[in-house]
Amino acid sequence: MKKECISVFDIFKIGVGPSSSHTLGPWRAALRFVDTIKSKGIDNVQSVKVLLYGSLAKTGKGHGTDVAVILGLNGEDPVTFDVNEITPRLNQIASEKKMNLGLSRIIDFDPAEDVVFLMDESLPFHPNAVTFLCTFSNGDEIAETFYSIGGGFVVKEGEDNNAANDVDLPFPIEKADDLLHWCRKTGLHIYEVVMENEHAWRSEEATKQGVLKIWQVMRDCIYRGCHISGELPGGLQVKRRAAGLNTKQLKGRTYNNHIEWVQAIREGGHSFQYILDWVSCFALAVNEENASFSRVVTAPTNGAAGVVPAVLHYFITFCDGFDDEKIINFLLTASEIGSIFKKGATLSAAMGGCQAEIGVSSAMAAAALTESLGGNARQCLMAAEIAMEHHLGLTCDPVAGLVQVPCIERNTMGAIKAITASQLALQSNPDNAKVSLDHVVQTMWETALDMNHKYKETAEGGLATKVPLSLPEC
Domain of 149, CATH number, reads 3.30.1330.90
Of 164, 191, 214, the residue that ends a domain is 164
In a domain, 474, yes or no: no
413 with 266, same domain: the answer is: yes
- By the 8 A CB rule, do 380 and 333 touch? yes
Question: How many Å apart are CA 151 and CA 357, to the nearest integer?
Answer: 9
Co-location of 156 and 192 in the same domain: no
Domain hosting residue 430, numbered range: 176-465
- pLDDT of 472 > 60? The answer is no
Question: What is the reported pLDDT for 2?
Answer: 55
| 456 vs 126: CA distance, rounded Å | 12
Residues 415 and 279 in one domain: yes
Task: Please say if the pLDDT value at position 164 is more than 60.
Answer: no
pLDDT confidence tier of residue 467, bands split at 50, 70 and 90: confident
Higher pLDDT, 212 or 467: 212
Mean pLDDT confidence for 117-139 = 95
* Residue 229 within any structural domain of the chain: yes
* Together in a domain, 461 and 371: yes
Residues, the chain: 474
The domain boundary, picked from 164, 191, 210, lies at: 164
> Does residue 441 lie within any of the structural domains?
yes
Mean pLDDT of the chain: 95
**Assessment of whether the complete model's pTM goes beyond 0.85:** yes
pLDDT band at 161 (very low <50, low <70, confident <90, very high): low
What is the number of structural domains in the chain?
Answer: 2
More confident residue, 334 or 158: 334
One domain, residues 195 and 143 = no
Residues above pLDDT 90, as percent of the chain: 95
Within a domain: residue 2?
Answer: no
Asked if residue 473 belongs to a domain, the reply is no
Greatest CA separation found in the chain? 71
Q: Are residues 140 and 91 in the same domain?
A: yes
d(CA 470, CA 234): 12
Residue 171 lies in a domain: no
Of 217, 449, 435, nearest to 353 by C-alpha is: 449
164, 191, 206 — which closes off a domain? 164
101 lies in the same domain as 213: no
Q: Is the dihedral of CA 237, 241, 247, 251 positive or negative?
A: positive
Same domain flag for 133 and 31? yes
For helices 377-389 and 176-186, give the axis angle rounded to 10 degrees: 160
| Cβ pair 302, 17 in contact under 8 A | yes
Give the model confidence (pLDDT) of 225-234 as tens digits.
999 999 999 9
The answer on 323 and 295 residing in a single domain is yes
Alpha-helical regions (H) of 323-436:
324-344, 349-352, 358-372, 377-389, 407-426
Q: Is residue 40 part of a domain?
A: yes
- Does 289 lie in the same domain as 189? yes
